[in-house]
Amino acid sequence: MKSFTKVTGIAAPMDRANVDTDLIIPKQFLKSIKRSGFGPNLFDGLRYLDEGQPDQDNSKRPLNPDFPLNSPRYQGAQILLARKNFGCGSSREHAPWALDDYGFRCVIAPSFADIFYNNCFKNGLLPVVLTEDQVDQLFREMYKAEGYQLTVDLEQQSVTTPGGDTFHFEVDDFRKHCLLQGLDDIGLTLQDANAIEGYEAQRRKSAPWLFV
Partner 1 sequence: MAGKTLYDKLWDAHLVKQRNDGSALLYIDRHILHEVTSPQAFEGLRLAGRKPWRVEANIATPDHNVPTTTVERQAGVAGIADPVSKIQVQTLDDNCDEFGIQEFKINDVRQGIVHVVGPETGACLPGMTIVCGDSHTATNGALGALAHGIGTSEVEHVLATQCLVTKKMKNMLVKVDGKLPVGVTPKDVVLAIIGKIGTAGGTGHAIEFAGEVFRDMSMEGRMTVCNMAIEAGARAGMVAVDEKTIEYVKGRTFAPTGELWDAAVTQWRELHSDSDAQFDTVVEMRGEDIQPQVSWGTSPEMVVPVNGSVPDPESESDPTRRESIKSALAYMDLKAGQAITDIPVDVVFIGSCTNSRIEDIREAAKVVKGRTRAESVKRAMVVPGSGAVKAQAEAEGLHKVFLDAGIEWREPGCSMCLAMNADKLEPGERCASTSNRNFEGRQGYGGRTHLVSPAMAAAAAVTGRFVDVRELV
Binding site for partner 1 (CB under 8 A): 16-18, 20, 22-23, 26-28, 30-35, 45, 51, 54-55, 83-85, 88-93, 96, 111, 113-115, 118-119, 122-123, 172-175, 177, 185-186, 188-190, 192-193, 195-196, 199-200, 203, 207-210, 212
For partner 1, which is the closer residue by CB, 34 or 60? Answer: 34
Q: How far is 179 from 127, CA to CA, in rounded Å? A: 11
Kind and range of the H or E run holding 109: strand 106-109
Chain centroid to Cα 159, Å, comes to 16
Query: Who's near 176: CB < 8 A, 6+ residues apart?
Result: 154, 157
- CA 41 – CA 24 distance, rounded (Å): 8
Distance separating alpha carbons of residues 203 and 210, to the nearest angstrom? 8
CB of 168 to partner 1, least distance (A): 18
Centre a 10 Å sphere on the Cβ of residue 90 and count the other Cβ atoms it contains.
18
Closest to partner 1 by CB, 136 or 146: 136
For partner 1, give the closer residue by CB, 50 or 146.
Answer: 50
Residue 51 or residue 165: which is nearer to partner 1 going by CB?
A: 51
Nearer to partner 1, 164 or 208 (CB): 208
Least distance CB 175 / partner 1 (angstroms):
8
Min dist. Cβ of residue 121 to partner 1 (A): 9
Phi, psi angle pair for 208, to nearest 5°: -65, -20
Are 110 and 130 in contact, with CB atoms under 8 Å apart? yes
Give whichever of 162 and 204 is closer to partner 1, judged by the CB atom.
204
| Long-range contacts of 160-166, Cβ-Cβ distance < 8 Å, separation of 24 or more | 161/137, 165/137
Distance of closest approach, residue 51 Cβ to partner 1, in angstroms: 4
Give min distance, CB of 41 to partner 1, in A.
Answer: 12
CB of 170 to partner 1, least distance (A): 12
